[in-house]
Amino acid sequence: MNTPVYIAGLGVISAIGNNVQEHLNAFKNEAAGMGDITHFESVHRGVLPVAEVKMTNHELAEKAGMLLDASRTTLLSLLAAREALTDAEIPNLSSLRTGFVSANTVGGMDRSEDFFTRFLKDNSKGKLRNVYDHECGSITEAVANELGITDFMTTLSTACSSSANAVFYGARLIRNGLLDVVIAGGADALTKFTLNGFNTLMILDKEFCKPFDQNREGLNLGEGAGYVVLVSDRVAKTLNKQAYCRLSGYNNSNDAYHQTASSPDGTGSYMAMRGALNKAGLQPEDIDYINVHGTGTPNNDSAEGTAIRRLFDPHYPAMSSTKSFTGHTLGASGGIEAVFSALAVKHGIIYPNLRFETQMEELPVAPETHFREGQQTDHVMSNSFGFGGNCTSLIFSKI
Amino acid sequence: MMKAYIRSAASISAQNTFGGQDFLTDVVAYQTTRLGTIEPDYKTYIDPKLIRRMSHVIKMGVAAAMECLKQAGVDQPDAIITGTAFGIMEDTVTFLTRIIEMQEEMLPPTAFIQSTHNTVAAQIALMLKCHNYNNTFVHKGVSFESALLDALMLLNEGEASNVLVGGIDEMIDTSFTVLTRLGLYKRWPVSNLALYQEKSKGTIGGEGAAFFVLSDTLSAGNLAELSGLRSFYNPDTTLDVSDTITAFLKEHNLAVADIDLLITGKNGDINNDAPYDQLKVELFSQTTCANYKHLCGEYPTSSSFALWLAANIIHRQTVPAVLLEQVADVKSLKKVLIYNRYQNKYHSLMLVSAC
């Protein structure tokens, strides 16, 4: 049951790049992806910065080899999942039991918004093709069809922790002996629905976000997709190149405090990190780097910072929020940051936390502010917390 | 082979199924294209202050979960897992409508806050102050089966002893209108109790919430055992599953003759029902057959209602006549097989046994 599960392939698309290599370049150049809204009409254009993938739907569809009427979420998902699967180069894949476990928060909402505008005026109007893929599961199904995966597929949705849960659900499918290979992660395109939703909560920063900074004012929404290819011990032995790392620990705990807010002492975050360490058989001082959830909202960063202090003091690992580059990609963030964490383990990378100025009062240490390579990164933790108190931590370890 | 004991089961449906009622002795007949649920007294389960803010699917999910825990005598489950294809549709549509009508200005946040698919699982955790594992699956016609598989794995891993798992979906006016335009439902009201005699296209819409406490230990009050689960996707809508079912039974050391009752997901749509009828000719010609969607309507997590039925059938050792495809006298009920084939693409098999 506790056999090792390896990460053999990575794929990612976000505001800072369309593949893994472009992301590494952006991190080295410390180039954030935020800017103005360009892909849809909104009264918030010019007011709220967002981190959009720098391709139109048309360009994405062409690159993905799909019809233009697919949801943007489907297109992002397919591109990243395909990159991950190609990267893994798994020998004799067709002879293995392969699954696709994907996450998203609003399914094909980008298309539903188009449908709904017409539908609201007249219930007999609105193109049905635009609402056909409204369900979250439709996105997964469309991508699995393109990837040719039929053995197993499912979709998770636990708000902003969705794809972190997808990653470890994938690992458990392997550990329980049900599958040999799982492509796991998630995708979310920016939509008016989520942009306006977060805006009503008054947690969107009108400037570029400043995670883990005392003077942070909120998050920037982003979009993208990130997937890892998880393989069993047996499959790992057949790989042509060494896997990136192991997924050594994971935990899902609930804050059980409020539908959207985190508890002041970060109970759920603490339990998730503690549980992941226990699962991995590690101590807090074994962790070399934390890719924090770090949305940049006063509430999240305070709760997460407090939980980190409770768990790690006085042995603080390096930490940073890559959301200072990608924005908060919601259901995609756990998958995207799993990719970053696997790269951190493989290449000894510590990512910078952009725009950091003033240390938070909850935490006696500052996040990393510059890109570093060749560091010791034997164990990397990735945090993903969401609405509904859903808190998930993953640990990636050197092979 | 992963399995679990079904310690308790609670269902809110279009029938009198909730809260210690007799087992389908008071069947409700409808003349309709869409079945809603019979509403329990939510105040018994939820703080009235909270009820006012909750949309229907949240109330029905939370109430079914609380009743289920009460029946099991479990205060804090080791995990809370839900399956829902549509999620919190009412709040989603409310917020979407306001964005358009109010042109993105001055929107109230409540509908958005509650619109995430994990809201029911989250609200249960919040009410119980339960910090344990919490997950939500949203994969179309196998959302509930995905949740069940997660529960079975947690028990198998030794990570949990009692898991609360449920299937929930609501049918609101907007989704019913859109799905009708997509051709899912009949165009005129039909008698739900004569659904399978219609022989026309389309089914009747439905909704519901069914929760279960699955346990790794056998105890006196257990209703039944969930002995096997298999779900899969196949885009070939004409797929013949006879071999798959035979293999599934063989994995559990069973033959077709060992199945005392087959519950299938017929829904009154001729295209949907044809493969079930063919299967019955090919494989289950000697088996007593039952249907359930005439009682709860068609929805993506309706198989959770079927599991509620199967658990009760085994526990009470009786098959209510309203379920049976043909009059039959079923003596001993040890093995019940549920086969659902959602929109001819998502297949699920659940094997339920006497403890």
- DSSP sequence for B209-262: EEEEEEESS--TT--EEEEEEEEEE-S-TT---HHHHHHHHHHTT--GGG-SEE
Q: Does A94 touch chain B (CB under 8 A)?
A: no
Contact B117, B87 (CB under 8 A): yes
Closest partner CB to B117 (pick from A136, A200, A268): A136
Asked if residue A100 has pLDDT above 90, the reply is yes
Cα Rg of chain A (Å, integer): 20
For chain A, give the mean pLDDT: 97
CA distances from A170 to A146, A174, A176, A241 (A): 19, 7, 10, 21
Minimum distance, in Å, between the CA of residue A395 and any CA atom of chain B: 17
**Do A258 and B126 make contact, defined as CB atoms within 8 angstroms?**
yes
Confidence of residue A67 (pLDDT cuts 50, 70, 90): confident
Closest partner CB to B177 (pick from A123, A158, A176): A123
- At residue A167, the pLDDT reads 98
Residue spans of beta strands (DSSP E) within chain B: 4-12, 31-32, 79-83, 133-137, 162-169, 190-191, 208-215, 224-233, 261-264, 289-291, 335-342, 346-353
Asked if residue A109 has pLDDT above 90, the reply is yes
Name chain B contacts of A150, Cβ cutoff 8 Å: 232-234
Looking at residues A147-160, what average pLDDT do you find? 96
How many whole angstroms separate alpha carbon B160 and alpha carbon B65? 17
**Do B232 and A150 make contact, defined as CB atoms within 8 angstroms?**
yes
Residues 6+ apart with CB under 8 A from B79: B132, B133, B134, B135, B150, B151, B154, B159, B160, B163, B164, B165
Closest partner CB to A156 (pick from B99, B135, B140): B135
What global pTM score does this model have? 0.98
Strand-pair category, B162-169 with B79-83: parallel
CA pseudo-torsion sign B156, A158, A100, A27: negative
Show which of residues 322-341 on chain B sit within 8 Å of chain A, judged by CB atoms: none
Q: ω before A91 within 30° of 0 (cis)?
A: no
Closest partner CB to B131 (pick from A196, A256, A259): A256
Asked if residue A2 has pLDDT above 90, the reply is no
Q: Is A160 in a helix, a strand, or coil?
A: strand
CA distances from B49 to A24, B12, B53, B54, B111 (A): 50, 21, 8, 9, 16
Show which of residues 114-133 on chain B sit within 8 Å of chain A, judged by CB atoms: 114-119, 121-123, 125-126, 128-133
Asked if residue B69 has pLDDT above 80, the reply is yes
- DSSP sequence for A292-335: ----S-HHHHHHHHHHHHHHHTT-PPEEE-THHHH-B-GGGHHH
Catalytic residue numbers of A? 160, 293, 328
- Select from A392, A391, A389 the least CA-distant residue to A257: A389
- At residue B20, the pLDDT reads 86
Whose structure tokens read 């804090």?
Answer: B76
pLDDT per residue over A159-209, tens digit each?
999 999 999 999 999 999 999 999 999 999 999 999 999 999 999 999 999
- At residue B329, the pLDDT reads 86
Supply B107's token pair: 């929107």
Q: By CA distance, what is A251's nearest residue in B? A: B133
How many whole angstroms separate alpha carbon A109 and alpha carbon B177? 18
Residues 6+ apart with CB under 8 A from B70: none
Confidence of residue B331 (pLDDT cuts 50, 70, 90): confident
Contact A60, A79 (CB under 8 A): yes
Asked if residue A47 has pLDDT above 80, the reply is yes
- At residue B108, the pLDDT reads 93
Q: By CA distance, what is B152's nearest residue in A? A: A176
**Do B133 and A253 make contact, defined as CB atoms within 8 angstroms?**
yes
Minimum distance, in Å, between the CA of residue B30 and any CA atom of chain A: 26
- Select from A109, A364, A331, A380 the least CA-distant residue to A224: A331
CA angle A368, A371, A372 (to 5 degrees): 95
- Select from A109, A42, A36, A98 the least CA-distant residue to A72: A109
Give the distance from CA B11 to its chain's centroid: 9
Q: Does A97 touch chain B (CB under 8 A)?
A: no
- At residue A71, the pLDDT reads 96
**Do B109 and A197 make contact, defined as CB atoms within 8 angstroms?**
yes
How many whole angstroms separate alpha carbon A279 and alpha carbon A397? 12
Name chain A contacts of B153, Cβ cutoff 8 Å: 172-173, 176
Half-sphere exposure of B302 (CA within 13 A, CB side): 31
Q: Does A208 touch chain B (CB under 8 A)?
A: no
How many whole angstroms separate alpha carbon B126 and alpha carbon B121? 9
Looking at residues B8-32, what average pLDDT do you find? 96
Closest partner CB to A158 (pick from B101, B109, B118): B118
Rounded to the nearest 10°, the torsion over CA B100, B104, B110, B114 is: 60
**Do A112 and B128 make contact, defined as CB atoms within 8 angstroms?**
no
Give the distance from CA B26 to its chain's centroid: 20
How many whole angstroms separate alpha carbon A135 and alpha carbon A141? 10
Interface test with chain A among B81, B135, B157, by most A beta carbons within 10 Å = B135
**Do A141 and B233 make contact, defined as CB atoms within 8 angstroms?**
yes
**Do B125 and A388 make contact, defined as CB atoms within 8 angstroms?**
yes
Asked if residue B30 has pLDDT above 80, the reply is yes
| Bridge partners (DSSP) listed for residue B214 | B6, B163
- Amino acid at residue number B70: K
CA angle B342, B345, B346 (to 5 degrees): 55
- Select from A17, A23, A396 the least CA-distant residue to A228: A396
pLDDT per residue over B99-115, tens digit each?
999 999 999 999 999 99
Asked if residue B330 has pLDDT above 90, the reply is no
Supply A384's token pair: 């993903």
Show which of residues 15-54 on chain B sit within 8 Å of chain A, judged by CB atoms: none
pLDDT per residue over B283-326, tens digit each?
999 999 999 999 999 999 999 999 999 999 999 999 999 999 99
**Do B86 and A135 make contact, defined as CB atoms within 8 angstroms?**
yes
Name chain B contacts of A390, Cβ cutoff 8 Å: 118, 122, 134
Show which of residues 208-237 on chain B sit within 8 Å of chain A, judged by CB atoms: 232-235
Compute φ and ψ for B50, nearest 5 degrees.
-75, -35
Looking at residues A90-99, what average pLDDT do you find? 97
- DSSP sequence for A239-296: -SS--SEEEEEEEEEE--S-SSSPPTT-HHHHHHHHHHHHHHT--GGG--EEE----S
Show which of residues 55-114 on chain B sit within 8 Å of chain A, judged by CB atoms: 80, 85-87, 92, 95-97, 99-101, 103-105, 107-109, 112-114
Interface test with chain A among B62, B97, B131, B244, by most A beta carbons within 10 Å = B131
**Do A200 and B109 make contact, defined as CB atoms within 8 angstroms?**
yes
pLDDT per residue over B71-85, tens digit each?
999 999 999 999 999
Looking at residues B132-157, what average pLDDT do you find? 98
How many whole angstroms separate alpha carbon A82 and alpha carbon A79? 5
Whose structure tokens read 């002995």?
Answer: B227
pLDDT per residue over B221-235, tens digit each?
999 999 999 999 999
Q: Is A91 in a helix, a strand, or coil?
A: coil
pLDDT per residue over A287-320, tens digit each?
999 999 999 999 999 999 999 999 999 999 999 9
Looking at residues A36-65, what average pLDDT do you find? 97
**Do B128 and A256 make contact, defined as CB atoms within 8 angstroms?**
yes
Q: What count of other Cβ atoms lies within 10 Å of the Cβ of residue A240?
A: 9
Provide the percentage of residues in chain B whose pLDDT is more than 90. Answer: 97
- At residue A1, the pLDDT reads 76
**Do A128 and B128 make contact, defined as CB atoms within 8 angstroms?**
no
How many beta-carbon contacts under 8 Å exist across A and B?
A: 177
pLDDT per residue over B31-45, tens digit each?
999 999 999 999 999
- At residue A311, the pLDDT reads 98
